[in-house]
Amino acid sequence: MTVSFQLSPEQEQLKLGARRFAEEHLRPLAADVRKEPDPFSRALLARPAFEEAVAAGFLKGLIPAPFGGTAGGGVEACILIEEWACHSPDFVISLAGPLIALAPVYEAGTPEQIERFVAPFLADHGAPVAAMAFSEPEGTANFAAPPPAEGLRTTAVPDGEWWVLNGRKAWASHLPGWDGNGPDVMTIVCRTPGGVSLIVAEREHLAGHIEVEEHYDLPGLRGCLTSRIGLHDVRVPRSNLVGAEGHGVRLTYDAFWATGASIGIFAVAAMRQAFEVAYHYASTNTRGGAVPIIEHQSVADVLADAKSRIEAVRLLAWRALDAVIAQDAAGPELALHAKIFGSEMGVEVITRLMNVVGVQAYDTSFPLMTYLSQAQAYPVIEGSNTGIRRRQLQDLFRTPGYNPLSASGMA
C-alpha cells in the first residue's frame, strides 16, 4: 500500500471552505482584537464568529462520530486549524475547548455521562464553551507529585450525594464562560480522597460559585479568554466523577495528546504567515541597493532554511495528529515531537525571518511581531516543553521495552 500526501478532493473542499470562513470572519475579528485594550472585552468580540462557526457545523466537527459529531481524521483537523490559525489562533483555541474537556469523557465516561456532557456541543446554534480546568496558579507541572510536595491543590470532598469543590484554577480558555457563570461544561482536575480525579461541573453547578480574580492580558493570543478564578463550594452530583477516583493523572495526560500534536500546526500557521511577509519583502525591496534583497545569498539562505522547517513541521504534525486521532500506539510520542519541535521551530524561524526584513520588522504595525508573539506561546502552553512535555518523553524512553523505531513504524 502506498502512502499519499496529496489532499483528496474532500480535503481540498475542507481547505477552501475553512479559508473562506477565515477570510470572512476571522480576518476582521483579528483586526478588531488587535485594537481592543481590555482582555475581557476583547474575548467577547469573538462571539458572533463563534456563533457563525457553530451554525456552520464546525463545532460538531470537533466531536468524534461515535459520540454524535462529524469529526474527520487528524489531517483534516490540521488543515482546518492551519487555515484558521493563520488569521486567529486565539479563536481556534477558544472554540476547541471541548476537544480537551470532553476527551476524558470519551475515554472513561459512562454512556449516560457521554450523552449529557456532549449534548451542548452538538447544537447548531448559540456559542457553547467547554473548559479543561487543569492548570493552577501555584503550579501545574508537578500536579501528580506525591507528598511532601503539595501538587494539585483543588479539592473535592464528598458530602452525601454531592462533591463539594474548592480551589483556584488558571489559564484554561473560558473558565468563567461568556458571562462569569461558567462554561457549559468544566472538567475539573482535583484531589478527592482516592487521589487525583476528574469531575465534570455543568453550568448550573458553577453559576454563582466562580470568582474571577483576573483576566490575563496575553501579548500574542490576545483574543483568548484566559483567567484566574476561584471555585467556592461548587456542588456537583457524585455521578459526575469521570472514570474511577485516582485515575485523574492518566486521564489528564491523555486529554492533551490531540491538542499537543496540534501545536505543531499552530506553529506552522504563524511561520507560514511570517514567511509570506518576509518573502514578499525580500522579493520587492532593494533597500537602496541595486537588486531586491532576495538576490543576496545570505538573505535567500534564511528563507530557504525557514521554508524547509515549515514543511518539516507540517508533515510531522499531520502524522502526529493522524496517529493520535486514530488511537495508534505511536500517537503520544509523535504528539510530543510535534509539540516540542514544532513550537520551538516556530519561535526560531520567525525570529530569523525578522532578520531578513531588518529593523522594520520590529515595528508593531509590521505583522512579524504579531506572529512572533503568537509563536512564543506555543512552547509554554499545552504543557510547557520544559515542565511537562520533555519529561513525558523521558518517561517514554524509560519504559521497559521502549523501541526507538516503533513510533515511525520502522521497528
Question: Is 177 near ligand FAD (CB under 6 A)?
Answer: no
All three cell numbers of 287: 533597500
Q: Which is nearer to ligand FAD, 303 or 338 (CB)?
A: 338
Per CB under 6 A, 381 contacts ligand FAD:
yes
Using rule CB under 6 A, residue 69 touches ligand FAD: no
Shortest gap between Cβ of 183 and ligand FAD (angstroms)? 11
Q: How far is the CB of 251 from ligand FAD (least distance, A)?
A: 13
Q: Which stretch binds ligand FAD (CB under 6 A): 12-20, 199-207, 366-374, 375-383?
A: 375-383
Residues 150 and 159 sit within 8 Å (Cβ to Cβ): no
**Nearest distance from C-beta of residue 381 to ligand FAD, angstroms:** 4
C-alpha to C-alpha distance for 401 and 280, rounded to whole angstroms? 50
* 241-242 and 185-192 beta bridge pairing: unpaired
Q: Does 173 bind ligand FAD (CB under 6 A)?
A: yes
Q: Which is closer to ligand FAD, CB of 14 or CB of 30?
A: 30
Is there binding between residue 377 and ligand FAD (CB under 6 A)? yes
Between CA 411 and CA 406 the distance in angstroms is 5
Work out whether strand 185-192 and strand 226-237 pair parallel, antiparallel, or are unpaired. Answer: unpaired
By the rule CB under 6 A, 252 interacts with ligand FAD? no
In the bound state with ligand FAD, the residue whose beta carbon lies nearer, of 215 and 293, is 215
Quote the CA–CA distance of 339 and 343 in Å, as a whole number.
Answer: 6
- Kindly tell me which residue out of 318, 382, 392, 407 binds ligand FAD, with binding defined by CB under 6 A: 382
Under the binding rule (CB under 6 A), the answer on residue 102 touching ligand FAD is: no
Q: Per CB under 6 A, does 375 bind ligand FAD?
A: no
CA torsion, points 342, 344, 346, 352, in degrees to nearest 10? -140
Angle, CA 180 vertex, CA 175 and CA 186 arms, to 5°? 35
Neighbours of 179 (CB within 10 A): 9
Q: From the list 57, 73, 387, 409, which residue makes contact with ligand FAD (rule: CB under 6 A)? A: 387
Answer yes or no whether residue 172 interacts with ligand FAD by CB under 6 A: yes
Q: Are 34 and 221 in contact (CB under 8 A)?
A: no
Please identify which residue in the block is written with the cell numbers 525580500. 282
Q: How far is the CB of 137 from ligand FAD (least distance, A)?
A: 9
Binder of ligand FAD out of 117, 171, 257, 378 (CB under 6 A): 171
For Cα atoms 183, 230, 98, give the angle at the middle one, nearest 5 degrees.
25
CB of 111 to ligand FAD, least distance (A): 26
Tell me the C-alpha distance between 106 and 82, whole Å. 25
Residue 386 near ligand FAD by CB under 6 A:
yes
91 contacts ligand FAD (rule: CB under 6 A): no
Closest residue to ligand FAD in the complex (CB): 387
CB of 18 to ligand FAD, least distance (A): 21
CB 108 within 8 A of CB 240: no
Minimum Å gap between C-beta 97 and ligand FAD is: 7
The H or E element spanning position 132 is strand 130-133
CA dist 346 to 84, 256, 311, Å? 17, 20, 12
Where is 31: in which H helix or E strand? helix 27-35
Binding positions for ligand FAD, 110-169, rule CB under 6 A: 132, 134-135, 139-142
CA 115 to chain centroid: 24
- Give the nearest distance from C-beta 357 to ligand FAD in angstroms: 27
Residue 407 DSSP symbol: T
Contacts to ligand FAD from residues 205-224, by CB under 6 A: 221, 224
Interacting residues toward ligand FAD by CB under 6 A: 93, 100, 132, 134-135, 139-142, 171-173, 221, 224, 226, 377, 380-384, 386-388, 391
